Amino acid sequence: MSTSRPSPARTSRGPRPASIARVPGIDYDVLDTLLGYALRRAQIAAFDQFYRATAGYGITPPRFTALVILGANPGVSQTALAAVLGIARSGAMQLTDWLVGRKLAERRARADDGRAWGLYLTRRGAALAAELKRRVRAQDARLGARLTAAERRALLRLLDRVAE
C-alpha cells in the first residue's frame, strides 16, 4: 500500500482522540481522591464521544459552541463570542474566519456601531448546527448511559455548582 490514505470520513485531524485508560499495575495515589482528576478523566471521555459524534465535519468543541451561540444569538459580536468561549479576541476572529470561509456564518455591518460586526449563521450554517445538535445530543445521552435519569440530573446539578 502506498502512502495515500483513503480516509473514509476524516476531514478533521482530530485534535485529541487521546484515550486515557487506566494502566494496570500503576498506583494512582492521591489522584484517585481528587475531584479535579475525576473531572479530567470524565471530560476526556466526553471529548471522545464528541469527536465520534462530529467525525468528518472538522468540528471542535469551540466551533460547535460558536455555531450554537450564533444560532441562538443572531447578531452577536466577535468580542461577545470570545467572552463566551473564554478566549482572546484574536482567537474568536480566527474561529469566525473559519466559519465564514466555509460559508457557515457571515459578518454583517452594524447600524449602531461601525466598529463591530454582527455575526449570523447562513442557511447552510443553521442546517449544520441543527444536524450537529442532534448528533451531539445523542452522543451526550450515550455518555450518561450508565446513569439513570435522576442520576444524570443530579450530576448536571453538582457540576454546575462546582463550576460556580
Partner DNA sequence: TATTGTTATACTCTATAACTATA
Partner DNA sequence: TATAGTTATAGAGTATAACAATA
Interface ranges with a second copy (CB under 8 A): 18-21, 23, 26-31, 33-47, 49-50, 61, 65, 68-69, 71-73, 76, 80, 83-87, 133, 136-137, 140, 143-144, 146-147, 151-152, 154-156, 158-164
Residue 77 found at the interface with DNA (CB under 7 A): yes
Region for 8 from its dihedrals, namely left if φ exceeds 0, alpha if ψ lies in -120 to 50, beta otherwise = alpha
Q: Residue 77's closest CA among 118, 122, 107? A: 118
Q: Residue 119's closest CA among 101, 107, 111? A: 107
Residues 47-76 that bind DNA (CB under 7 A): 60, 62
Kindly state the smallest distance separating residue 49's Cβ from DNA, in Å: 17
Distance CA 42, CA 55 (A): 20
Q: In 10 A of CB 95, how many CB atoms? A: 21
Kindly state the smallest distance separating residue 32's Cβ from a second copy, in Å: 9
Among the listed residues 1, 2, 6, 115, the single contact to DNA using CB under 7 A: 115
Distance CA 110, CA 81 (A): 16
Question: Residue 123: CB partners within 8 Å, gap ≥ 6?
Answer: none
Kindly state the smallest distance separating residue 20's Cβ from a second copy, in Å: 4
Contact stretch for DNA (CB under 7 A) within 89-97, 127-135, 139-147, 150-158: 89-97
Return residues touching DNA (CB under 7 A): 13, 15-16, 18, 60, 62, 77-79, 85-91, 93-96, 107, 113-117
